[in-house]
Structure 1
Amino acid sequence: MFSLPAWSGEATRLDRLFAQLQKADEAAAPAIAKDIALELSKSGSPAMDFLLRRGKNALEAGDLAAARDHLGALVDHAPKFAEAWHVRAIARARAGLLGPALADLEHALALEPRHYTALYSLGSLLEETGQEELAVRAYEAARDIHPHDPDTLAALERLSHVTQGTQL
């Protein structure tokens, strides 16, 4: 005999935060978004959180090789950690490795489809490669999750010619 774990029906903290973000007004959204970012940065392992911090610090310092090394090790040891894939995608994109960056974003979004910053990153890569219609779709998906994100709204405004056409 075996038994299945009981499901309490309780939403996780992250589920609650995403629900709050969708309903939040423009003033409350940044604080909720910050809390979501904090939750997404928790791997559940201090060692993996340390690798994430090292990778982010290297990325901020412009040391792309070190960032890719730390984040590669992180992805190897914590393959179900969406933020690891997302941050490695950023490092790879900055190094000009757009194909691998897109693959990393695909992993991140498969693990956490509500990861609006990964969706924004996807939109940025698609826009950079001239795939504006797909970029708009990624930005719109990010906006659906975080309706007040200024970067996403600016990107959609910048690409409004794709959805609205060009006036003659």
Structure 2
Amino acid sequence: MKVQHHILNAFLAAVLATSTAFAQGDTLDTLYERLLKPDLQDWEQVERAIWREWSSSGSASMDLLLERGRKAMSDGDFAVAIEHFTALTDHAPEFAEGWNARATAYFMAEEYSLSIADIQKTLSLNPKHFGALQGLGRILEELEDEKNALKAYQAAYAIHPHRPSLEEAIDRLDAKLSGQAL
């Protein structure tokens, strides 16, 4: 699959430009602020709290669809997971985590173009979704689009600078793109 670079570049630029303007309530804002503290020791707890906030749709039935889809995904049944997440996105189209979950299921099913489309929807609803940005980076790296993968990882790192896997990915791609031996 060939990703259209100019569209992707514009999309990544828009995400970077809007990520500082995103506000989803005091709780998430406070958690995002904590993530940016350089000396944060409990970053994993802060990250889990953010994921809990992201995973709460405000509807018990929608949360159940998310839970069932995640269970199917963890069982390796990606088709069933996609069905649950599709029902979720159909019934709660403004719930970013439904789109992100389906993007993850599509990625696991190696449906990269569908995953990218759902990541774009996730980020349009939640520009600070560092998980979606990291997922985008991973897909682009799989597609050997290292330059845009690096941009996606850097965008995720700007929101969540404590994830070791993000720093490793950035260092790896920086070295590769600059021609340094790994």
Give the TM-score of the pair, scaled to structure 2.
Answer: 0.82
Q: What does residue 155 of structure 1 align with?
A: 169
Instruction: Work out whether residues 123 and 136 of structure 1, in 8 Å CA contact, stay in contact via their aligned partners in 2.
Output: yes
Give the count of matched residue pairs. 159
Inter-CA distance 41–24: structure 2 relative to 1 (3 Å threshold):
farther
After superposing on structure 2, the runs of 4+ consecutive aligned residues of structure 1 that deviate more than 4 Å are none
Distance 2:138 2:65 in 1: 25
Deviations 1:10-65 (A, max 9, x none): 95211111111111524221111111111011111111011000011100000011
CA distance in 2, matches of 1:10, 1:82: 12
1:117 aligns with 2:121: no
2:25, 2:108 → 1: CA distance?
Answer: 36
2:108 is matched with which residue?
A: 94
- The aligned counterpart of 1:46 is 60
- What residue in structure 1 maps to residue 17 of structure 2? none
Segments of structure 2 that go 5 or more residues without pairing to the other structure are 1-22
| CA RMSD, Structure 1 to Structure 2 (Å) | 1.7
Residue 87 of structure 1 and its aligned partner are, at CA, apart by 0.9
Moved more, 18-27 or 64-73: 18-27
1:82 is aligned to 2:103: no
Could you say which residue in structure 1 is the equivalent of 2:159? 145
Higher relative contact order (CA 8 A, sep 6+): 2
Q: Deviations over 1:85-127 (max 9, x none)?
A: 1110011111121111100000000000000011000100110
TM-score, normalised on structure 1? Answer: 0.89
Counterpart for residue 129 of structure 1: 143
Give the aligned residue type for 2:52: L
Worse-matched range after superposition: 143-152 or 15-24:
15-24
**What residue in structure 1 maps to residue 37 of structure 2?**
23
Say if 2:81 is the partner of 1:67: yes
Q: Using the TM superposition, give the Cα deviation of residue 165 of structure 1 relative to its aligned residue in structure 2, in angstroms.
A: 2.8
